[in-house]
Every structure is written in C-alpha cells, then in structure tokens.
Amino acid sequence: MLYRIAEPTDWVHAQKTGFFASADLAAEGFIHCSEAHQILETARRYYAGRAVLVLLEWDEAALALAGVRVEREWVASRNQHFAHVFGAVPLVAVRRSWPFGADAAGEFQLPAGISVAKE
C-alpha cells in the first residue's frame, strides 16, 4: 500500500470527480507518496503543526490496473526511495482514509491498522 497525506480540499474534490489529484501533480508531474514506515517523518517534515489533514491509503495493484504508473525514486535528502504516482488516482484505488493531523502537543500518530514493518 501507498500513503498520501492530503489536504482536505483535495480529498473533497476527489470524491466529487472520482480522481485524486494535488498541486504536486500539476507542478512536478507526479504525486508524492509514502510507504507506511515513512508517513510519520513525512508528516513531521512537511505538515508540522497541521491539525486538519487526511491520510489516504492507495492500493498499488489497483493503480497498475487503472494504468497509473508508480515509480520509486531516490530522495537524497531522506536517504530513501519514495513512491511517485504519475497521474490522477482513481477512487477505486483508494482503500481507506482517515482524519490525520498533529495533536495538541504537535505530534502525529498513525491510525490503527497501519503496519509500519519495513519491506
């Protein structure tokens, strides 16, 4: 599974149109994603203090069936490969969604049911 920390407005728009897209798709040609073990560090780095976000879980096999290309690319600043999704994500590929955001102490917690085992 792949995970995307999303703006609530992008998620609402996806539910109306049937496809998730974000500003990074328009600007860079792909949507940044994380694997489960990368979610919390991504949240800390790029969404610090944000209390109202959405965490989306995408099925990579469903993306492939829909013809949406996924590539893992090396990100030197994080010293890891990250998944990049080259196209809008059809809602059929979205398996789960959760409200997501920093708590009063500024910390992020993974929703129940997400395994953080590194593959």
CATH assignment at residue 8 = 3.20.170.20
Residue 68 and residue 37 in contact, taking contact as beta carbons nearer than 8 Å: no
pTM recorded for the entire structure: 0.90
* Residue 49: inside a domain: yes
* Residue 90: inside a domain: yes
Structurally, the chain folds into a number of domains equal to 1
| Average pLDDT by stretches of 10, the chain with 119 residues | 95 96 93 94 92 95 95 88 94 95 90 74
CA 13 → CA 1, 17, 39, 46, distances in Å? 22, 6, 22, 22
Q: 55: domain range? A: 2-100
* Residue 86: inside a domain: yes
* Residue 64: inside a domain: yes
Distance CA 11, CA 63 (A): 17
